[in-house]
Amino acid sequence: MFPLFQSHLDLAHQYWKRLIRSGDIVIDATCGNGQDTLVMAKLSLTENSGTLYALDIHPRAISLTRELLQSHLSPGLIERLHLCQQCHSTFPDEIKTGTVSLITYNLGYLPGGGDKSQTTLVKSTLQSLINALTLLKEGGLISMTCYPGHEEGQKEENEILAFTATLDPKQWNCCHHRWLNRKRAPSLLLIQKLYHR
């Protein structure tokens, strides 16, 4: 199979496919155009199980995600989708601690939206990550794609990596994929909660 990994998103999707089972609770913390949300919906939702929360601060992202998912999924699956227009620094109260299998972030601004002012920012992304860690169940994963190609994105990546490096290795597996031969290319951060038996 060539190429094994085409892009940071490709690589992220491969991990999601290995981890997610139908019936899981999953969160897309930056739903944007809904492309990643759709991948997550197909992996986690059935007519009577699974819950998908899709968050975005931008109203256009919420309507684009709704339209995309409605055009690909049955009404029964759509009922299991919760679209939340809000900053991801907090998550909906109904999501219980220790229950979520996958929380994804694709940092930056809405592609094609022409509104670069609503890009993700270090402070809220870090707060979100801290809260996300409490929501994961054992074996659950945070998948974050970072964009160090612009100034805020570089700052965001630096601070997120510095924070992640402080996590207790007895509780978390933390891994950062980056392209060594592509300058300022996007990268993929993975944080998995370990099992305690």
Q: Which residues bind ligand SAM (CB under 6 A)?
A: 30-36, 55-58, 61, 87-88, 106, 108-111, 118-120, 124
Q: Which amino acid is located at 53 in the chain? A: Y
d(CA 15, CA 36): 13
Q: Which residue's CB is nearer to ligand SAM, number 48 or number 117?
A: 117
Please check whether residue 150 is in contact with residue 183, taking contact to mean a CB–CB distance below 8 angstroms.
no
Query: Residue 101 or residue 143: which is nearer to ligand SAM going by CB?
Result: 143
- Cβ proximity to ligand SAM, 32 vs 140, nearer residue: 32
37 with 30: CB under 8 angstroms? no
CB of 35 to ligand SAM, least distance (A): 3
**What is the nearest approach in angstroms of ligand SAM to the Cβ of residue 44?**
16
Q: How far is the CB of 166 from ligand SAM (least distance, A)?
A: 22
Q: Which is nearer to ligand SAM, 54 or 191 (CB)?
A: 54
Residue 174 is encoded by which pair of tokens? Answer: 């933390």
Q: What is the nearest approach in angstroms of ligand SAM to the Cβ of residue 39?
A: 8
Q: Minimum CB separation from ligand SAM for residue 3, in Å?
A: 21
- Please list, in sequence order, all residues whose beta carbon lies within 8 angstroms of the beta carbon of residue 177, skipping any fewer than 6 positions away: 8, 11, 187, 188, 189, 190
First-last CA distance in the chain = 37
Decide whether 54 or 136 has the Cβ nearer to ligand SAM.
54
Q: Considering the complex, what minimum distance in angstroms separates the CB of residue 94 from ligand SAM? A: 18
Which of 89, 172 has the CB closer to ligand SAM? 89
CA distance 125 to 120: 7
Question: Which residue's Cβ has the minimum distance to ligand SAM?
Answer: 32
Which of 91, 22, 23, 21 lies closest to 56, judged by CA?
A: 91
Q: Residue 88: what are its φ and ψ, rounded to 5°?
A: -80, 5
Hey, what are 192's tokens? 């998995």
